[in-house]
Amino acid sequence: MLSSRLQEVLDGPWAHVRKAARAELAGDKFVAVPGETIDEARERVTRLLRELPADPGVAAGFPIEYGGQADPGGSVVAAEMLAQIDLSLMVKAGVQWGLFGGAVVALGTTYHHDRYLRSIIDADLLGCFAMTETGHGSDVQQLRTTCTYDPATQTFDLHTPHDAARKDYIGNAARDGRMAVVFAQLITGGRRYGVHAWLVPIRDERGEPLPGVTIGDDGHKAGLLGVDNGRLSFDHVTVPREMLLDRYGQVAPDGTYTSSIDNDIRRFFTMLGTLVRGRVVVGGSAANAAKSALTIAVRYGESRRQFTAPGETREVALNDYLAHQRVLGINLAHAYALHFAQDELVSTLHEVQTADGPVDEHRQRELESRAAGLKAAQTWHATRAIQAAREACGGAGYLAENRLPGLKADTDVFTTFEGDNTVLLQLVAKGLLTGYRDAFGSLDGWGRATFAAEQVRAMVLERTAARSLIQRLIDAVPGRDEEVALTDRGWHLALFEDREKHLLEGAVRRLRRGAGRKGRQFDIFNDVQDHVLEVARAHIDRIVLEAFVAGIDRTADDEARALLSQVCDLYVLSTVEAHKGWYLEHQRLTPARSKAVTARVNDLLRRLRPHLTTLVDAFAIPDEWLNAAILREEPGRQDVMAAEDTAAE
Amino acid sequence: MLSSRLQEVLDGPWAHVRKAARAELAGDKFVAVPGETIDEARERVTRLLRELPADPGVAAGFPIEYGGQADPGGSVVAAEMLAQIDLSLMVKAGVQWGLFGGAVVALGTTYHHDRYLRSIIDADLLGCFAMTETGHGSDVQQLRTTCTYDPATQTFDLHTPHDAARKDYIGNAARDGRMAVVFAQLITGGRRYGVHAWLVPIRDERGEPLPGVTIGDDGHKAGLLGVDNGRLSFDHVTVPREMLLDRYGQVAPDGTYTSSIDNDIRRFFTMLGTLVRGRVVVGGSAANAAKSALTIAVRYGESRRQFTAPGETREVALNDYLAHQRVLGINLAHAYALHFAQDELVSTLHEVQTADGPVDEHRQRELESRAAGLKAAQTWHATRAIQAAREACGGAGYLAENRLPGLKADTDVFTTFEGDNTVLLQLVAKGLLTGYRDAFGSLDGWGRATFAAEQVRAMVLERTAARSLIQRLIDAVPGRDEEVALTDRGWHLALFEDREKHLLEGAVRRLRRGAGRKGRQFDIFNDVQDHVLEVARAHIDRIVLEAFVAGIDRTADDEARALLSQVCDLYVLSTVEAHKGWYLEHQRLTPARSKAVTARVNDLLRRLRPHLTTLVDAFAIPDEWLNAAILREEPGRQDVMAAEDTAAE
């Protein structure tokens, strides 16, 4: 079957993790349950968290000596698979092993690892990642919670100075968490050293909040009912000196602060950078939830017949309509493109995080930028694709029994958590404008004085892993633009690259010009904010395309490669079509060629029509996981109806 | 206050209904409750339905002699106001008084009116509108339920022949309905006469299903938990002859069928046409829910400060960011534009439905087309705007206590119920292609043989009510396009009109060319489906703009008019920007002017920045109805934070 061969390609380097998940999590045991109360959902998800198989699992990223498998890539892919089963369970696992456990690994030292990692991996010790505050979500450098060292008692005093400084939206806080990694401003000897993290007990054995800790419940949310998000405030809570996660900054008993990184901001973003995996998980999970939604909608659209075609007795399937194909086919092409990009990102993450020796700082920054950009692209794609799938299923798409409402509600927050998408795009753009030199994973928008307009410069475009392949294709483009076939891959690559480059250079020019004028520095950046965000989007489009091209190049099976190539054509030309205004404004396309792009998109949709189900079958999502009543209806019903039509008309 | 004067403009011709609703439904009694179980929600909404004030209310459309006020326009506006309070309550009221009661009024005769209308208005008799079937949603002409007359017993036999013919998604069915208006194929004397409606008891006094009636529950949905949607099947249920709603078709005791309309299809669509109010209500309700969401997001964006601007101590408000303005400001401009269009539609509906004498068929078709088009435009706008508002509020936007999740979940189905939006756009386009001649409100896609490609012809563009004003503005456009100011209203009108006309003519040409070739008739239409849908969108854009222009022209207050004019500029130029690819492809804009449009949009957003809160204040939605915890936070918190910033830095 073509779909099986395609599945082999998609399963990629962590195929064993995907296959194990399909086998070990088979059936409906772990599957999301629609219509639960919040208490039922929380109870179920917490229970199932402890029953998840360890190997391969979301905890695969932990060091082998504590029971993990030192397989960060595998842990991300395991989370992506969970996202197809139950997004609450995925997020709960991500909070426990990714954020909480991940912070203990990355920011703590042997003292913390020896004492806590085993019980974290076993889910005996459930914990929180307490960074975000009600008043400060994206600007984490400016968190208001303080943790002040007192040499007399050799303890820290953790304190929430006012309501806006309470920790908010914290997973595992409202019900289950026993400890929390709390981010706060470190103060010792009367000086601030920026944000650090402490491991802080928040509940006693019986689950009651510890003295000085106030715990609130975020209550009902749009979705993710199984995750107990809550609020934490600290009223002068005493924290032992040893509980500072002190890999990047240490406080001696006498209060002396030391760190291998002098600059406070640089240190903080180095710490944050170690936590990049969370964004990779969120992006990949969103994209995998979108695959579930598209699978449901495409299969429904194949069986659902709406109107009788003139002169025929059999009704036309929804998937036969061009308007339906435009929605589902294009989203499907984007799902494929993003799949290859995510695969490449996971591989890069795995290499960086398993490399021996000192961290390659440039590589780390590039990883952070790609993680940020692909998180934004994949979560927005998920919001769009799941909405499209919901609408494509009509009223049936609104019923909880057909899964789409759950997919939609659960993934909705992904565009704004683990970094707000707009802020992440700014981070990507900033990296491009400074060549990652001063980017530092900062989420500070355009605010900080450390990034002045004068510093911007267009970096040399850095190619992805497949750079020689890409260059070869671009070099092979024959003749002038107008004469090149619309499906010439080299032309596609050159077109995407040109757009990114031109946008980037234009942004640099406008920022420099702004810097030369008087006015508030904020306005200089704000005036070009839309342009700068477009730079980031164009960059991500290119990264995604290059990953897709490299993935096709790796595909050995001829038939699979040919089909993927058509899907890639559709990804490219639908993206060009979406930006045709820009290409025409900048005379990269003539009006005639622009119209030809639209015609070709429609033509590709017609050609791909017979393969729509093949393309979703290749996602290989088990029926129990899809959990949609409309796909379970008795076979043959449509035939009954068709027969009846013939009889009646 | 400017916002109060603006409110007067927006409150429009049914200002008394809006003001009465704000007064009589004040407080939190009727307000949506997040986090309810499905049983709690259903119980509460059913109870509150009976406590809704009658005057002015959703039941205002009923004839005066039965306790109504013969005010169809008022009933729509009352529903729009309910949509700001609780969408479940709005839909429940819409099912009871709009769909169920409305069908009895429009399709029944004095016999039915005398017997049932008072108890329907009092909500003593709760009922369903049972049209949609599981297997046939949009193609209502092809419903499978049959109702066969037997002269021997002088009764009908109502029957569901197979599962796909069961009635589905029926509001009031799962729990409350005692009767249903059931749509089925009328068969008498061995001949079918097309779809008719019967008033059928479905539950007994104790709420148990009557013999032969099977009632299912659609269970949990994405939203609208307070509405008890369900499924109805009939196993040879006997229905007395008198229960046929026989205004448009009568069956004599001996089984003889009579009707004032010979053609079965024409008769059916005439019947459907009387029910147009449902679409007007859904469109208006969606737009009003979007206003609630935009109000929450704009007010939050005004108080919420994220990053510190360089060189300043006070943090920048979210609303200061261009990217934020691009999202909220443009959606707000569209909300204003659609408000005026909906107002005009409601006035037209009111005139048509209260006119003496025979129905003006052309006017009725035009009303149906506008209702369809504006329903699609407003519900898609709501989906976009509420999503944008949710994301603009970050994590806070995901918490049920901040209302946005409820608004999003409840309105989501509006794009596909009361007519799937894509199907409705086809209806609009078909009306344009045939000059309403053969359109007949049919939802049959391109299928029916009654609509052949040869018949298409571009109709003369029919202007809206404000036609002389529009023509005057267009005639006053000075000079060549390139030289006209970007904010020249006549140029705007001409630009929108030109796009519609060109698209329409192109569609006609392509359909004619297709008809000249061999091939399946389905393919002829399907090949141009995207083009044809674009015709409908361009048409709606023009209708909306013309209504906005007329509304501004009616505004007496200078300051309000000036502000509205800027909002209209933003509506126009952001719409042009969204379609700039088309304008460039067709050389209606030069590249330079296209870039200038984007620059002007940004400039307008900067100018409107200080007025964002004024614009949402003018919606005059009571705080209790907004029901968002983030807007209730203690005043002065931000000042505390700002003071602290100053101290700390």
Vertex B553: Cα angle to B551 and B556 (nearest 5): 100
Distance from C-alpha of B648 to C-alpha of B314, rounded to nearest angstrom: 11
The one-letter code for the residue type at A546 is E
Residues B606-626 have a mean pLDDT of 97
Distance from C-alpha of A464 to C-alpha of A461, rounded to nearest angstrom: 10
Residue A638: predicted pLDDT: 45
Which tokens in the block code for residue B617?
């204040």
Distance from C-alpha of B17 to C-alpha of A648, rounded to nearest angstrom: 49
Checking if the pLDDT of B295 tops 90, the result is: yes
Task: Give the pLDDT band of residue A649 (cuts 50, 70, 90).
Answer: very low
Which tokens in the block code for residue B562?
């000036």
**Which residue, B322, B604, B325, B600, is CA-closest to A523?**
B322
CA A337 to chain B, closest CA, distance in angstroms equals 24
ipTM of the complex: 0.93
Same domain, B112 and B160: no
Tell the burial category of A649 from Cβ atoms under 10 Å away from its Cβ (0-12, 13-18, 19+).
exposed
**Which residue, A332, A424, A337, A329, is CA-closest to A375?**
A424
What is the DSSP-derived secondary structure letter of residue B251?
A: E
List pLDDT tens digits, range A106-138. 999 999 999 999 999 999 999 999 999 988 766
CATH at residue A177? 2.40.110.10
Share of chain B above pLDDT 70, in %: 90
Same domain, A136 and A43: no
Same domain, A493 and A401: yes
Kind and range of the H or E element at A50? helix A38-51
Which tokens in the block code for residue A112?
């913390």
Residue B317 lies in a domain: yes
Checking if the pLDDT of B349 tops 90, the result is: yes
The overall average pLDDT reported for chain A is 90
**Active-site residue list of A:** 418
Residue of A168, A169, A399, A417 to mutate, testing the B interface (most B Cβ within 10 Å of its Cβ)? A399
Q: Do B219 and A323 touch (CB under 8 A)?
A: no
Residues B373-384 have a mean pLDDT of 98
Residue A156 lies in a domain: yes
CB of B230 closer than 8 Å to CB of B126: no
Same domain, A204 and A234: yes
When mean pLDDT is compared across A193-207, A364-378, B470-484, the lowest value belongs to: B470-484
Torsion angle defined by CA atoms of residues B445, B446, B447 and B450, in that order, rounded to the nearest 10 degrees: 110
Checking if the pLDDT of A643 tops 60, the result is: no
Instruction: Give the closest of A221, A444, A580 to B398, CB-based.
Output: A221
Q: Do A421 and B595 touch (CB under 8 A)?
A: no
Torsion angle defined by CA atoms of residues A602, A604, A608 and A610, in that order, rounded to the nearest 10 degrees: 60
Distance from C-alpha of B37 to C-alpha of B225, rounded to nearest angstrom: 8
Q: Do B163 and A637 touch (CB under 8 A)?
A: yes
CATH at residue B55? 1.10.540.10
Residue B223: predicted pLDDT: 97
Residue with the bigger pLDDT between B72 and A648: it is B72
Give the number of other Cβ atoms within 10 Å of residue A40's Cβ. 13
Residue A302: predicted pLDDT: 92
CA B159 to chain A, closest CA, distance in angstroms equals 15
Which tokens in the block code for residue B631?
């807007």
Q: Which residue has the tokens 């099986």?
A: A4
Instruction: Give the closest of A306, A397, A400 to B139, CB-based.
Output: A306
Residues A89-116 have a mean pLDDT of 97
Q: Do A398 and B412 touch (CB under 8 A)?
A: yes
For residue A124, give every residue at least 6 positions away whose Cβ sits within 8 Å of its Cβ, in sequence order, or none: none
Residue B633 lies in a domain: no
Residue ranges making up the domain that contains A182: 128-262
Task: Give the pLDDT band of residue A639 (cuts 50, 70, 90).
Answer: very low
Residue B464: predicted pLDDT: 66
What is the DSSP-derived secondary structure letter of residue B454?
A: G
Task: Give the pLDDT band of residue B309 (cuts 50, 70, 90).
Answer: low
Task: Give the pLDDT band of residue B458 (cuts 50, 70, 90).
Answer: low
The overall average pLDDT reported for chain B is 90
> Helices (DSSP H) in B1-37: which residue ranges?
2-11, 15-24
Residue B578 lies in a domain: yes
Checking if the pLDDT of A456 tops 90, the result is: no
Distance of CA B117 to the CA centre of its chain: 26
Residue of B132, B305, B526, B576 to mutate, testing the A interface (most A Cβ within 10 Å of its Cβ)? B526
Q: Do B306 and A587 touch (CB under 8 A)?
A: no
Residues A69-86 have a mean pLDDT of 96
Q: Is the peptide bond before B56 cis (omega within 30 degrees of 0)?
A: yes
Q: Do B222 and A422 touch (CB under 8 A)?
A: no
Task: Give the pLDDT band of residue B129 (cuts 50, 70, 90).
Answer: very high
The one-letter code for the residue type at A144 is R
Kindly identify which residue of chain A lies nearest to residue B420, measuring between CA atoms: A394
Residues A567-589 have a mean pLDDT of 97
CB of B536 closer than 8 Å to CB of B425: yes
CA A449 to chain B, closest CA, distance in angstroms equals 6
Q: Do B220 and A387 touch (CB under 8 A)?
A: no
SS3 category, A28: coil
Same domain, B252 and B115: no
Distance from C-alpha of A137 to C-alpha of A514, rounded to nearest angstrom: 29
Residue with the bigger pLDDT between A266 and A208: it is A208
Kind and range of the H or E element at B184? strand B179-188
Kindly identify which residue of chain A lies nearest to residue B442, measuring between CA atoms: A307
Instruction: Specify the pTM.
Output: 0.94
Residue A648: predicted pLDDT: 37
Residue A32: predicted pLDDT: 93
Same domain, B87 and B164: no
List pLDDT tens digits, range B221-231. 999 999 999 99
Task: Give the pLDDT band of residue A640 (cuts 50, 70, 90).
Answer: very low
Residue B137: predicted pLDDT: 62
When mean pLDDT is compared across A181-190, B332-341, B361-370, B536-545, the lowest value belongs to: B361-370
Instruction: Give the closest of B397, B401, B637 to A219, CB-based.
Output: B401
Residues in B closer than 8 angstroms to A522, CB to CB, are: 309-310, 312, 316, 320
Residue A179 lies in a domain: yes
Residue B397 lies in a domain: yes
Instruction: Give the closest of B137, B218, B521 to A311, CB-based.
Output: B521
Same domain, B353 and B225: no
Instruction: Give the closest of B169, B444, B581 to A580, CB-based.
Output: B581
CA A397 to chain B, closest CA, distance in angstroms equals 9
Residue B460: predicted pLDDT: 53
Counting the structural domains of chain A, the total is: 3
The one-letter code for the residue type at A167 is K
Residues in A closer than 8 angstroms to B448, CB to CB, are: 310
Residues in B closer than 8 angstroms to A415, CB to CB, are: 391
Distance from C-alpha of B96 to C-alpha of A196, rounded to nearest angstrom: 59
Choose one of B215, B245, B273: the last residue of a domain: B273
Distance from C-alpha of B617 to C-alpha of B504, rounded to nearest angstrom: 39
CATH at residue B611? 1.20.140.10
Kindly identify which residue of chain B lies nearest to residue A582, measuring between CA atoms: B581
Same domain, A565 and A609: yes
Residue of B195, B304, B398, B637 to mutate, testing the A interface (most A Cβ within 10 Å of its Cβ)? B398
When mean pLDDT is compared across A183-192, A298-307, B593-602, the lowest value belongs to: A298-307
Same domain, A337 and A453: yes
Distance from C-alpha of A623 to C-alpha of A117, rounded to nearest angstrom: 36
CA A395 to chain B, closest CA, distance in angstroms equals 7
Which tokens in the block code for residue A271?
């710490």
For residue B428, give every residue at least 6 positions away whose Cβ sits within 8 Å of its Cβ, in sequence order, or none: B369, B372, B373, B376, B536, B539, B540
Residues B212-223 have a mean pLDDT of 97
Residues A137-148 have a mean pLDDT of 84
Residue with the bigger pLDDT between B11 and A315: it is B11
Residue of A584, A609, A644, A645 to mutate, testing the B interface (most B Cβ within 10 Å of its Cβ)? A584
- Residue B114: C-alpha distances to residues B119, B128, B354 (Å): 10, 19, 20
- Residue B177: C-alpha distances to residues A51, B95, B116, B210, B236 (Å): 44, 10, 14, 12, 20
Residue A306: predicted pLDDT: 55
Kindly identify which residue of chain A lies nearest to residue B303, measuring between CA atoms: A135
| DSSP states of A116-138 | HHHHHHTTSS-EEEE--BSS-SS
Q: Do A311 and B221 touch (CB under 8 A)?
A: no
Q: Do A399 and B445 touch (CB under 8 A)?
A: no
Checking if the pLDDT of A517 tops 90, the result is: no
**Pairing between strand B191-201 and B179-188?**
antiparallel
For residue A525, give every residue at least 6 positions away whose Cβ sits within 8 Å of its Cβ, in sequence order, or none: A445, A446, A453, A511, A514, A532
Q: Is the peptide bond before B151 cis (omega within 30 degrees of 0)?
A: no
Task: Give the pLDDT band of residue A503 (cuts 50, 70, 90).
Answer: very high
Residue A483: predicted pLDDT: 81
Q: Do A309 and B580 touch (CB under 8 A)?
A: no
Same domain, A151 and A103: no
Residue B424: predicted pLDDT: 94
Alpha-carbon torsion (B12, B15, B18, B23), positive or negative: positive
Checking if the pLDDT of B447 tops 90, the result is: no
Residue B639 lies in a domain: no
A to B CB pairs, distance under 8 Å: 263
- Give percent helix, percent strand, percent coil of chain A, each to the nearest 5: 60, 10, 30
The one-letter code for the residue type at B239 is V
**Active-site residue list of B:** 418
Same domain, B485 and B518: yes
Checking if the pLDDT of B453 tops 70, the result is: no
Torsion angle defined by CA atoms of residues A165, A166, A171 and A177, in that order, rounded to the nearest 10 degrees: 130
Checking if the pLDDT of A44 tops 70, the result is: yes
Alpha-carbon torsion (B370, B375, B380, B385), positive or negative: positive
Residue A308: predicted pLDDT: 55
Residue with the bigger pLDDT between A432 and A371: it is A371
Task: Give the pLDDT band of residue B568 (cuts 50, 70, 90).
Answer: very high
Residue A603 lies in a domain: yes
Give the number of other Cβ atoms within 10 Å of residue A490's Cβ. 18
CB of A184 closer than 8 Å to CB of A144: no
| DSSP states of A514-582 | HHHS-S-HHHHHHTTHHHHHHHHHHHHHHHHHHHHHHHHHH---HHHHHHHHHHHHHHHHHHHHHTHHH
Vertex A410: Cα angle to B404 and A385 (nearest 5): 95
What is the DSSP-derived secondary structure letter of residue B99?
A: I
Checking if the pLDDT of A641 tops 50, the result is: no
Tell the burial category of A33 from Cβ atoms under 10 Å away from its Cβ (0-12, 13-18, 19+).
middle
Instruction: Give the closest of B323, B520, B641 to A309, CB-based.
Output: B520
Checking if the pLDDT of A645 tops 50, the result is: no
Same domain, B73 and B7: yes
Checking if the pLDDT of A448 tops 60, the result is: no
Residue with the bigger pLDDT between B631 and A511: it is B631
Residues in B closer than 8 angstroms to A405, CB to CB, are: 220-223, 409, 412
